[in-house]
Structure 1
Amino acid sequence: MGHWRDLFRSDRGRARHRVEVERRRLLPAYSGEQSQASDASKEIAKVALRLKYQIELVVSCEVEQTVLTDPNSRIITDDVVATARQAGGEDYKACVVYCLLVCLRWFKLQSSVELWDADLHDLRAVACEVIAKRIIETEQNLDYLLRDILLKRYSIYSEGVETDPANVIERSVDLHALRIISSAGYQKCIDYLWRGWICQEEGNPTNFVDYDGKSNTSYWSHFHPDRMRTPLYQNTCQIMFSLIYLAVYTAVINTVNPTGDLDVVEGILYGMTLAFICDEGIKFWKVGWNYLEFWNAFNSTLYTILVVSLALRFVALAHSSSTQDEQRQLYNELSYNFLAFAGPMFWIRMMLYLDSFRFFGAMFVVLRVMMKESLIFFALLFVVMAGFFQAFIGMAQVDADVPIQRNILQGMINSIMQSPDFDTFQEFAFPFGIILYYVFNFIVMTVLLNILIALYNSAYEDISGNATDEYMAIFAQKTMQFVRAPDENVFIPPFNLVEIVCLVAPFEWWLSREAYAKLNDFVMAIIYSPLLFFTSWLEAHQAHRIRWNRRHGEEDDDCAQEWEHVAHEVDFDLDDTWKEQVAESTPDIKVDSCTYEIRELKEQVRLLTEMVKNLTPDKGQEQEF
C-alpha cells in the first residue's frame, strides 16, 4: 500500500499497525505475542548492560584517545574484543554490535550529565565504536554480517516499554559513529543498499532481503517498477527533476507577466513545489526528528518563500484586472520579488544531489559544520546588538530631530559587514554616541568576528583531517534517506501528485489490495519506462559480471584490477626463494622499535643466563671434590 493510506488512517490504527510491523523485526522471531517480544527486548537490554560493565572496567581511567584507537592498542586487545563478542551468548550474539551502539548512546548521555567525568565517558564511547568496528571487520560470514548484524532490527526494554526497533545501519548514522560507518563490512552493506542488491521485502518494507534477480542475465526480468526503490535510481531521478525544476524557474523568472496572470510554466513550477512539500512532509511524518538535517531546513525555507510568492499572487488576482489598479500591481511586484529572492537558493539546492560524489561530499560536511558553529557567533551577536541598539535608541529619543531605528540598524549592520558608518552616530548625544559606536565596532569587528574565524578554522581542521570518514558518513545518511521511510510504491516527486490525484483519491479506498497493487505497478511502469529501459540494460550487464565472479569464487561486487590480469601466472607458494627473502626482510609493524629492542635484549639475557648456568658446576659435583 502507498504511504498515503497510512496517512489517512486514524492515530490508533496507525500506531497499532506500526507496532505489529516492528514487533516482527524483534530478535528472536516469535509468533508476535507481546510477552515473548518483551522477553527478547529484555534479554537484549541485559546484553547491553553486560557490555557497559565490561567497558567501564576496561576503560577505568582517562587515557589518550589514540591509545584506544591504535590497531595495536594495549587496552582494546583481541581478548577484550572476543569477550565482548560473547556477551550475547549463542542466542543473542548477532545483536552485540547493536548493543554496543546502545552503550555508546548511554555513555554520551552520561557525559552530558556527569560533567566531572565527561572525558572518561567520551573515551568509553570511543571504546564502544572501536570494539564494534573490530567485530564487524573480523566477521567472515558476509551473509550473516549483512542480514543479522547490520540490517536486522532490535529493540531494548527501557522504562517499562520497548524502544523503537532499529538496526546498526540506522543507529550508526543517527549517532554519527564514524569508526563504525568507515568499517569495511558497513560500507559493503551501504553499497549493496545503494545498488539495490539488498532491498525491502515485499509486504514488509521494514525488513531487508537479498535481490534474487541480481544474477539474472535476462533483460526483461529487471524491467519492473519495483526496481525504482533502488536508492541509486531514485537519486538519478531526483537529479533529473531538480534540473527540470531549475529550468522551469529560470523560464518563469525571465518571463514576467505584467498583468499578474498565472501561465502554464508558473503552474508547473508551483505544482512541482507542492509535490516536493508533500514528499518532505511524508518522510518527516514516517521517520521523525532523525530525518531533519541541514538540507531539509534549506529546502523548507525555499518552499516557504515560493508559497509566500504564490499567496501574494492570489491576493493580486483578487483585485481588479485593470492595469490601473495599484493594489494588484503592488502585490504582483511583491510576488515576483519573493520569487526572484529565491534564485540563489534554487542553484544552491543542486548541490544537495552532488554530495554522492566524494569531492563535493567532504566539502559539504565542512560547510554544514561551519554553519552549526556560526550559531554561537550569531547568539553572541544578537545579545550585543540588542544592548547597543537599545542604547542608541535611548540617545536618539533625547534629540527628536535625529532619525532613529532605520539609520541606527543600518549603521550597526554595516559595522558587522566591516563597513562602519561613523557619520550617522556623530550627533547622538555627543560625545556619548560616537564613543559607544567605537566600542560597538571594537567588540564586533575585533572580538566577535575573530571568534567566528577561529570557529571556522577549528571546524575545517576537524573535518578536513577526517574527510574520508565524513564523506562515508554523509553517503550512508543519504542512502538511509531513501530506505528509511519505506514505501511499497515509489512515486518520486513530482510523480507523487499522480499517486494522490489519480490513484489514492479515486481507487485506493474501494479497490482490493491485489487490484490496487497491480494498478500501481501499471502506472509506475508507464511513467518510469524511459528510465527502466536503461536500468534494465545496466542490471543485465552487471548480472554477467556477477556470474563471472561467482564462477571464479569472487564476491559479487568484485572488479578485476590492472594487476590482477596477470596475477594468475604468478604463484608465490611455489616461488620459495622470493617468499623466504620477503619473509626475512619484512618488519613486524605491530611492534614499535622500543619494544623490539627490549625483546632482543631479553633474548640476549636469556642466552647469557644459560651460558652462566652451563659454566657454573652444580652442587653434586662440588661435593665429589
Structure 2
Amino acid sequence: MSRRSTGGWSRLLGWDRHPAHQHHDQWWEETRRRLLPAYVEDTIESAIPPEEVTKIAVRLRYLIEECIPCDMEEDVVTRSHSTVITRKVVKAAKEAGGEDYMDCVRWFKHQANVELWDATMHLVRATACEVIAKSIIESEENTEYLMHSILLKRYSILIDNEPTLPSNVIEKAVDLHALRVIGSSGYQKCISYLWKGWLIQDENDPARFVDYKDRDNTSFISHLDPDRMRAPMYQNAAQVLFSILYLVLYTIAINTINRNGDLDAVEIVLYIFTCGFIFDEVAKVWKAGYYILGFWDAFNGVLYSLLIVSLVMRFIAFSKAPSDDPNIKGQREQFNELSYNFLAVSAPMFWVRLLLYLDSFRFFGAMLVVLKVMMKESVIFFALLIVIIIGFLQAFIGLDIAEDLVLSDVTFIVQAMANAVMQSPDFEGFEQFGHPFGIILYYCFTFIVMVVLLNILIALYNSAYEDIYDNADDEYLALFAHKTMQFVRAPDENVFIPPLNLIEVFFLALPLEWWMNKRTYERLNDIVMAILYSPLLLIAAYFETRTAYEILGNRRRGDEDDDTVEEWEQLQVNGNGIDFEQDGWKKTVEQVKPNVEDELAVVEVRQLRSEVAELKQLLEALVKSGGTSGPGTSAKDSLAKGASEQGASAQGSSAQDSSTQDASAQGSSAGEASYAEMAAK
C-alpha cells in the first residue's frame, strides 16, 4: 500500500498533550516515530552529529543559567531592549551554535515540573530561550539560509546515549507551543511557504525540503500536476469541500424521509462518506496507537457511531415485513422511524464538526483556541462536580432504602439532581422524602452546585478568556502552524483525502500494488488523482498562474516573492517615489526621533559623565601648567568658575525632563562641591 495520506492525517497528530507536561520525553519521541512512515524513520539523519548538537544545547543551557541565576519577573526578559537578554547574549548564543534552543526550552519546562520549588525560575529561563531564538530568527536577513538551514534542517540530540528522531525548529516550536518563536516573522514566512506549497518535500528524501521550481512559471499546463495536492492549502480546501458536501448530503437525507424504509441514492452516498471517515479514524489508531486520540477524535467517533446505529436500524427494518394496515405501525415502520431518530439526533454534531475544518480562517481559529482553553479549565469543575454528585447520590439512595426498604425512587433522585445542576431545582419533591433529612440534603446540594461550583466555573472561564485574549494572535498563529505541520509532517506520495481513501484502498492498493511495477503503479495513481481532483486542480492552476505573474513582478522590483504592494508603496512602484534624503525630510526626522533603546534618565547620566570627564581633563591640564590660568587669576578661582559653569550646564540639560530634573541637579551640585574642594586643595 502506498504511504499514508497526508490529508488523511489532518487530525492525526493531536498535540493536545503538551510535551512539557509529560514526566518522560520518551513517550513523545516514540509517538512521533509511529507517526512517520517506516522508511522515513530509517533514512532521516541529523544534519549535525547528535553528539555535537547535544554539546551545543548544553552550552546554551549553561549560558541561560548564568544569565538568569535567580528568580526574576518574566517582563525583565521579554521586554524590548532587555537588560538581561542583551545583544551580547544573543551574539554569544550564535557563537555557540544557537539553532538548538528548542531542546533547552523542553529541558527547562521539564525541570519546572520536576522541581516545583524553582518552577518560576526555570519557566523564565525557558522564556529566555524563546526570546533568544526569536531574536536569532528575526535578525537573519538571508531568507534562503533562514528557511533551509535554520528552520527546516533536522537535528538530533542524545538521550541515554541514543539519538532522538531528528526534528527541525518548525516542528519543535509546534510541539512545545513556543508562541514567541511561532510569532516571529521569519517563522511565519516559512509556514506561509509550506502552506502554499512553495516549499515541498524532496521525493527522494522526504526529510529534506526543496523549493517548488514552477512557482514562477506562468504556463497554465505546468500547474496541472496532481502532486500539487500535497500542498497543505489544497488539502485543506479539499477537506472543507468534502465536509460541506457531507453536510449537504445529511441535510437532504434528513429532510427526505422514506416511509417505506428504502435507501435512496443520497443516503447511500452519505453512508459511503461515513465509511470513508471511519476507515480513516481506524487506520489512524492502527498506525499510531491510542496516544494520538484527542477531543475531535472522540467527537467524530460519537457522530459516526450514531450514523452506524442508524444504518443498522435501517437494515433491521428491511428484514421486517411492512404493516398491512396503514394506521398501525409494524416492526418495519418502527425500526425505520428509530433509524431516522438516530439520524436526526446527530444534526448538531454535523454542524459543529464543520468547525474542525474552518480553523484555517482567523475568526474560527481564534474562537476554537478560546474554547479549547475553556474546556481545559472546566476539567477542575467537572472533577469536583462528579465527586459531589456521587456523595449526595449515595445519601439520597440511603434515605430511599431506609424509608421503604426498597430502592424505588432512583429515577426521581437522578432527575432532581440533574435539574439542580441545570439551575432548575425541584424542592417540592423532597419535602416528604426522608423528612426532614431529604430536603436538608437537597438544599445543601443545590447551594454547593448553583452557588459555589458554578461561580468557580465562571471564574475559571473568565480567567481562561483573559489569559488567551492577550495572546489571541499568537495563539491563532500557533494553531495555523500546527495545522500546516499536520499536512507536512507525515510525507506521502499519493494524497487521497477521505472518502477518496476508499478508492485508494479497494481499487488501487489491494488489487494492484502487490504485483504491479512500482513505476507503473505510481503513474496509475497520478492518473486517478488527476481525474478525481480535476475540478480543484483547474482552480488551483488558475490561481497559481496569477501568482506566478505577481512573483515575477516582485522579483523585477527586487522584492520577496510573497511581497504585496501596499497603498503607501504605489508611488515608489510607479516611479514617482519621494527621496526623503534629497528634500531634507530625513534630516528633520533624525533630529526629532526619540531614543527608544535607552531610558531618558540613563541618557542624562551619560551626558553628565561625559561632562565630568571633560572637567577632569581641564583640571589635569591646569595642574600641569603650574597652577595658573592667567595674569592675576589664581588656580582656585579658575577651577571654581569652571565648576560653576559645568554645574550650570548639567542643570540646564537635565531640565528637559521633569522626572530626572531633581536627580541631575543633585548630581551637578555634588560635582560642583567636589571641584571646589579639589581647587581649594
TM-score relative to the length of structure 2: 0.83
Paired with 1:124 and 1:424, the residues of 2 have a C-alpha distance of 59
Please name the residue that 2:92 is paired with: 83
The DSSP-based 3-state class of the residue aligned with 1:563 is: helix
| Aligned partners of 1:312 and 1:331 also within 8 Å | yes
Paired with 2:602 and 2:288, the residues of 1 have a C-alpha distance of 51
Paired with 1:354 and 1:500, the residues of 2 have a C-alpha distance of 27
Q: Aligned to 1:395, which of 378, 391, 399?
A: 399
Q: Within the alignment, does 1:540 sit opposite 2:536 as a pair?
A: no
| Aligned partners of 2:183 and 2:477 also within 8 Å | yes
Q: Within the alignment, does 1:230 sit opposite 2:231 as a pair?
A: yes
Moved more, 449-458 or 44-53: 44-53
Paired with 1:293 and 1:575, the residues of 2 have a C-alpha distance of 61
Q: Within the alignment, does 1:378 sit opposite 2:387 as a pair?
A: no
Letter in 1 for 2:109: K
Paired with 1:60 and 1:294, the residues of 2 have a C-alpha distance of 40
| Aligned partners of 2:40 and 2:206 also within 8 Å | no
Paired with 1:161 and 1:327, the residues of 2 have a C-alpha distance of 64
Please name the residue that 1:427 is paired with: 432
| Aligned partners of 1:4 and 1:504 also within 8 Å | no
- Give the superposition deviation at 1:386: 0.3
| Aligned partners of 2:247 and 2:350 also within 8 Å | yes
- Give the superposition deviation at 1:403: 4.3
Please name the residue that 2:587 is paired with: 580
| Aligned partners of 1:22 and 1:165 also within 8 Å | no
Letter in 2 for 1:214: R
Moved more, 309-318 or 490-499: 309-318
Q: Aligned to 1:59, which of 68, 80, 83?
A: 68
Which ranges of structure 1 fall in alignment gaps of 5 or more residues? Answer: 8-13, 30-39, 89-95
Moved more, 574-583 or 181-190: 574-583
- Give the superposition deviation at 1:613: 4.9
| Aligned partners of 1:228 and 1:490 also within 8 Å | yes
Moved more, 465-474 or 393-402: 393-402
Paired with 2:51 and 2:68, the residues of 1 have a C-alpha distance of 26
Paired with 2:419 and 2:335, the residues of 1 have a C-alpha distance of 30
Determine what percentage of the aligned residue pairs are the same residue: 53
Q: Aligned to 1:441, which of 439, 446, 449?
A: 446
Q: Aligned to 1:480, which of 475, 485, 491?
A: 485
How many residues align? The count is 598
Paired with 1:282 and 1:193, the residues of 2 have a C-alpha distance of 26
The one-character-per-residue Cα deviations of 1:70-118 (angstroms, maximum 9, x if unpaired) are 1201111111111112223xxxxxxx43x21111111111111111111
- Give the superposition deviation at 1:617: 3.5
- Give the superposition deviation at 1:315: 4.1
Letter in 2 for 1:272: F
- Give the superposition deviation at 1:319: 4.5
Pairing 1:61-140 to 2, within 5 Å after superposition: 61-88=70-97, 96-97=98-99, 99-140=100-141
Paired with 2:339 and 2:570, the residues of 1 have a C-alpha distance of 63
- Give the superposition deviation at 1:251: 1.4
What value does the CA root-mean-square deviation take over the aligned residues? Answer: 2.6
Paired with 1:554 and 1:55, the residues of 2 have a C-alpha distance of 37
| Aligned partners of 1:22 and 1:206 also within 8 Å | no
Letter in 2 for 1:28: A
Q: Aligned to 2:413, which of 408, 413, 425?
A: 408
Cα distance change, pair 443–513 in 1 and its aligned pair in 2 (3 A): same
| Aligned partners of 2:322 and 2:333 also within 8 Å | no
Please name the residue that 1:353 is paired with: 357
Pairing 1:203-602 to 2, within 5 Å after superposition: 203-283=204-284, 292-320=293-321, 328-400=332-404, 403-567=408-572, 568-570=575-577, 572=579, 574-575=581-582, 577-602=584-609
The DSSP-based 3-state class of the residue aligned with 2:502 is: helix
When Rg is computed on C-alpha atoms for both structures, the one with the higher figure is 2
Please name the residue that 1:3 is paired with: 3
The one-character-per-residue Cα deviations of 1:574-623 (angstroms, maximum 9, x if unpaired) are 42622211111011111123323332333343444445555x5448458x
Please name the residue that 2:26 is paired with: none
Paired with 1:452 and 1:283, the residues of 2 have a C-alpha distance of 34
The DSSP-based 3-state class of the residue aligned with 1:199 is: strand
The DSSP-based 3-state class of the residue aligned with 1:489 is: coil
- Give the superposition deviation at 1:535: 1.1
Paired with 1:587 and 1:506, the residues of 2 have a C-alpha distance of 73
The one-character-per-residue Cα deviations of 1:383-406 (angstroms, maximum 9, x if unpaired) are 000000000011011222884111
Moved more, 121-130 or 140-149: 140-149
| Aligned partners of 1:235 and 1:353 also within 8 Å | yes
| Aligned partners of 1:224 and 1:525 also within 8 Å | yes
- Give the superposition deviation at 1:166: 1.8
Cα distance change, pair 58–304 in 1 and its aligned pair in 2 (3 A): farther
- Give the superposition deviation at 1:295: 3.1
Moved more, 440-449 or 343-352: 343-352
Cα distance change, pair 210–590 in 1 and its aligned pair in 2 (3 A): same
The one-character-per-residue Cα deviations of 1:423-474 (angstroms, maximum 9, x if unpaired) are 1211221111111111111111111001100110011111111111111111
The DSSP-based 3-state class of the residue aligned with 1:209 is: strand
Cα distance change, pair 105–5 in 1 and its aligned pair in 2 (3 A): closer
Moved more, 191-200 or 252-261: 252-261
- Give the superposition deviation at 1:52: 1.5
| Aligned partners of 1:287 and 1:484 also within 8 Å | no
- Give the superposition deviation at 1:560: 1.1
Paired with 2:210 and 2:290, the residues of 1 have a C-alpha distance of 26
Moved more, 459-468 or 596-605: 596-605
Letter in 2 for 1:425: F
The DSSP-based 3-state class of the residue aligned with 1:556 is: coil
| Aligned partners of 1:25 and 1:152 also within 8 Å | no
Letter in 2 for 1:166: S
Please name the residue that 2:662 is paired with: none
- Give the superposition deviation at 1:193: 0.8
The DSSP-based 3-state class of the residue aligned with 1:399 is: helix
Paired with 2:475 and 2:266, the residues of 1 have a C-alpha distance of 40
Letter in 1 for 2:602: T
The DSSP-based 3-state class of the residue aligned with 1:215 is: coil
Cα distance change, pair 469–59 in 1 and its aligned pair in 2 (3 A): same
Paired with 1:291 and 1:224, the residues of 2 have a C-alpha distance of 32
- Give the superposition deviation at 1:44: 1.6
Paired with 1:427 and 1:327, the residues of 2 have a C-alpha distance of 43
Deviant stretches of 4+, over 6 Å: 287-290
| Aligned partners of 2:306 and 2:346 also within 8 Å | yes
Paired with 1:179 and 1:4, the residues of 2 have a C-alpha distance of 32
Please name the residue that 1:49 is paired with: 58
Letter in 1 for 2:44: R
| Aligned partners of 1:396 and 1:404 also within 8 Å | yes
| Aligned partners of 1:415 and 1:444 also within 8 Å | yes
Q: Aligned to 1:21, which of 16, 28, 40?
A: 40
Cα distance change, pair 49–334 in 1 and its aligned pair in 2 (3 A): farther
Cα distance change, pair 82–321 in 1 and its aligned pair in 2 (3 A): farther
Please name the residue that 1:176 is paired with: 177
The one-character-per-residue Cα deviations of 1:498-542 (angstroms, maximum 9, x if unpaired) are 111211121111111100000001111111111111111211111
The one-character-per-residue Cα deviations of 1:125-150 (angstroms, maximum 9, x if unpaired) are 11111111111111122112111221
The DSSP-based 3-state class of the residue aligned with 2:221 is: coil
Moved more, 585-594 or 571-580: 571-580
- Give the superposition deviation at 1:570: 3.6
- Give the superposition deviation at 1:335: 2.9
Letter in 2 for 1:502: F
Paired with 2:138 and 2:357, the residues of 1 have a C-alpha distance of 30
Paired with 1:297 and 1:176, the residues of 2 have a C-alpha distance of 23
| Aligned partners of 1:154 and 1:167 also within 8 Å | yes
Paired with 1:442 and 1:127, the residues of 2 have a C-alpha distance of 46
The DSSP-based 3-state class of the residue aligned with 2:432 is: coil
